[in-house]
């Protein structure tokens, strides 16, 4: 009797896991892996699938976002036609890239923006804190990591001062990435009158266990007029002018102009999805005039209705390139379509430069990247490893004309499992400046050759290949 009960407790959940994976997983490899896990790891396998394998967000996201009023002040799709005439100068030969983005995103490409790169915490944090201190009506901030260190305390104090003088302050922190400092940060801000919440925190029972589906976005919007976004968290690790062994090199961006509404809208959606109230009106969505020359569009992506948007845009950028591409990412775990797009660009004669960190915070991410590199190197793609500190920048610059910037890494987690925010920018002046900066990084980096990858010892190649099998979930 007991033997039959034990067998049923293993067999029935295993079958349920396999059936659900086959029916709902998009990738055949992912479905196969989870079906095997459900049977090969008795009892624990189905629990792992509950925590890691199921996307519970799509239906809730659709329901919650239907609550957003159409009068929120957002630029809508019908405004895209108003910017169509500006293609000829800034978009130029990258029209196909722009057209694909028009079809896969819900937001229009907007003219009249200004985008300024801010390198490392030394440039980004003073600009962000100055904007917070000057806020008059609203501040919205979301960050994957918000450390309780000197930098985190400075931001907490500045946000608290803003709330005390009557500014509407809303802070959304990821329920896992910022968990270490959440209680201290939250208590201090709530006392000052700010609104603070966690995005999908870990809660039990297992129905609330969400290891995946993290909010990896980094967005700060002040008064609905000045935005900051990119790959930089709030942590003293982003201050590189010190001897901290964990310091991290990164680039963030200050943005003004109509596209700031796209940053704000991404925050408003996430705030509502986290179970909070609607944020509408002029405090958050004021009328925005032109401040510069850049054409911009916000690209929200995530495991809801935005699934795959950034992934498609990366492929579109590579397909449209004619001259040279710089791709910078801390984690390089490309999908098969992205590998094909990179290789096809190189075969067309495009100079493709992939810049990766030489030192990673997660060693196994270096192993899996090495398992992919031979596919690029044998077709003429140039790969460089940047000397320490750890390079956390996330950029694609196409033909010195267009830039994709934001929070997405080049890996399946960013493409499918995380909530990410990126910006599509057509600004030949800024893109050329970034390309020149990246050319300088290449000159200081170590080039990876095919012989380097082929020369790995057998046990290293086996290790790298083994980790590659898990790449959809790294």
**Residue 231 above 80 pLDDT?**
yes
The pLDDT value given to residue 206: 47
297 inside domain: no
**Residue 81 above 90 pLDDT?**
no
Contacts of 42 (CB under 8 A, 6+ apart): 10, 14
Residue at which a domain ends, from 230, 262, 291: 291
Q: What is the CATH number of the domain that holds 235?
A: 3.30.870.10
**CA–CA distance, 102 with 353 (Å, rounded to integer):** 27
Taking the mean position of all CA atoms in its chain, how far away is CA 210? Answer: 18
22 inside domain: yes
- Judge if 123 and 206 occupy the same domain: yes
The pLDDT value given to residue 245: 85
- Judge if 280 and 136 occupy the same domain: yes
- Judge if 454 and 377 occupy the same domain: yes
β 395-398/324-328 pair status = antiparallel
The pLDDT value given to residue 406: 96
The pLDDT value given to residue 25: 57
Q: What confidence tier does 359 reach under pLDDT thresholds 50, 70, 90?
A: confident
Token pair of 463, please?
């290790």
Residue at which a domain ends, from 233, 257, 291: 291
Token pair of 337, please?
């379509």
β 390-391/248-249 pair status = parallel
- Judge if 132 and 251 occupy the same domain: yes
Output the CA torsion 64→70→75→76 (10° steps).
90
Q: What confidence tier does 70 reach under pLDDT thresholds 50, 70, 90?
A: very low
The pLDDT value given to residue 187: 80
Q: What confidence tier does 77 reach under pLDDT thresholds 50, 70, 90?
A: very low
**Residue 59 above 50 pLDDT?**
no
pLDDT per residue as tens digits for the range 108-122: 999 999 999 999 999
The pLDDT value given to residue 299: 94
The pLDDT value given to residue 156: 94
**Residue 78 above 50 pLDDT?**
no
The pLDDT value given to residue 306: 66
- Judge if 374 and 270 occupy the same domain: no
Q: 38-42, 318-322, 324-328, 382-386: which has the minimum mean pLDDT?
A: 38-42
In which residue are the tokens 């934001």 written? 406
Q: Indicate the average pLDDT of the chain.
A: 85
Residues above pLDDT 90, as percent of the chain: 61
- Judge if 210 and 140 occupy the same domain: yes
Mean pLDDT of 342-367: 95
**Residue 44 above 80 pLDDT?**
no
Residue at which a domain ends, from 54, 75, 98: 54
pTM, two decimal places: 0.86
Structurally, the chain folds into a number of domains equal to 3
18 inside domain: yes
98 inside domain: no
- Judge if 192 and 286 occupy the same domain: yes
**Residue 64 above 90 pLDDT?**
no
208 inside domain: yes
pLDDT per residue as tens digits for the range 269-302: 999 988 778 899 999 999 999 999 999 999 998 8
47 inside domain: yes
**Residue 264 above 60 pLDDT?**
yes
301 inside domain: no
The pLDDT value given to residue 76: 44
Residue 380, domain extent:
309-473
Mean pLDDT of 92-109: 91
Mean pLDDT of 212-219: 87
Give 210's strand partners: none
- Judge if 396 and 417 occupy the same domain: yes
pLDDT per residue as tens digits for the range 142-166: 999 999 999 999 999 999 999 999 9
135 inside domain: yes
- Judge if 314 and 269 occupy the same domain: no
Better pLDDT: 68 or 472: 472
- Judge if 160 and 261 occupy the same domain: yes
The pLDDT value given to residue 318: 97
- Judge if 125 and 248 occupy the same domain: yes
Task: With beta carbons less than 8 A apart as the criterion, state whether 31 and 49 touch.
Answer: no
pLDDT per residue as tens digits for the range 305-343: 566 789 999 999 999 999 999 999 999 999 999 999 999
- Judge if 346 and 461 occupy the same domain: yes
């Amino acid at each position: 009797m007991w033997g039959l009960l034990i067998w049923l407790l293993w067999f029935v959940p295993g079958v349920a896991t396999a059936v659900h994976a086959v029916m709902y997983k998009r990738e055949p490899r992912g479905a196969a892996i989870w079906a095997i896990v459900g049977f090969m790891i008795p009892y624990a396998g189905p629990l792992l699938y509950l925590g890691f394998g199921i996307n519970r967000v799509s239906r809730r996201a659709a329901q919650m976002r239907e609550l957003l009023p159409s009068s929120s002040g957002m630029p809508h799709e019908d405004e895209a036609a108003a910017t169509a005439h500006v293609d000829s100068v800034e978009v130029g030969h990258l029209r196909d890239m722009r057209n694909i983005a028009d079809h896969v995103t819900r937001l229009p490409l907007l003219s009249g923006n200004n985008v300024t790169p801010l390198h490392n915490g030394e440039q980004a944090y003073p600009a962000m804190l100055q904007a917070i201190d000057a806020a008059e009506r609203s501040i919205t901030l979301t960050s994957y990591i918000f450390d309780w260190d000197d930098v985190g305390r400075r931001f907490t104090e500045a946000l608290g001062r803003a709330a005390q003088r009557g500014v509407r302050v809303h802070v959304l922190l990821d329920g896992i990435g910022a968990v270490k400092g959440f209680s201290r940060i939250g208590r201090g801000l709530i006392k000052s009158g700010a609104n603070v919440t966690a995005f999908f925190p870990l809660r039990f029972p297992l129905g609330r266990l969400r290891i995946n589906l993290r909010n990896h976005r980094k967005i700060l919007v002040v008064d609905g007029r000045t935005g900051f976004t990119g790959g930089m968290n709030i942590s003293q690790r982003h201050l590189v002018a010190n001897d901290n062994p964990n310091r991290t090199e990164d680039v963030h961006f200050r943005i003004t102009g109509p596209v700031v509404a796209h940053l704000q809208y991404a925050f408003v959606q996430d705030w509502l999805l986290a179970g909070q109230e609607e944020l509408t009106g002029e405090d958050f969505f004021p009328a925005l005039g032109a401040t510069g020359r850049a054409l911009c569009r916000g690209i929200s992506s995530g495991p809801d209705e935005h699934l795959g948007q950034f992934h498609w845009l990366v492929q579109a950028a590579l397909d449209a390139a004619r001259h040279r591409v710089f791709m910078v990412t801390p984690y390089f775990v490309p999908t098969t379509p992205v590998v094909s797009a990179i290789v096809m660009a190189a075969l067309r004669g495009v100079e493709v430069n992939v810049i990766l960190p030489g030192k990673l915070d997660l060693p196994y991410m270096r192993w899996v990247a090495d398992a992919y590199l031979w596919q690029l190197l044998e077709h003429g793609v140039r790969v460089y490893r940047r000397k320490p500190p750890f390079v956390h920048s996330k950029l694609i610059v196409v033909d010195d004309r267009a830039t994709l910037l934001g929070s997405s890494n080049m890996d399946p987690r960013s493409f499918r499992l995380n909530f990410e925010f990126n910006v599509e920018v057509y600004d030949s002046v800024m893109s050329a400046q970034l390309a020149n900066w990246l050319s300088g990084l290449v000159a200081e980096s170590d080039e990876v050759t095919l012989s380097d990858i082929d020369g790995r010892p057998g046990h290293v190649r086996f290790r790298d290949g083994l980790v590659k099998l898990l790449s959809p979930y790294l």
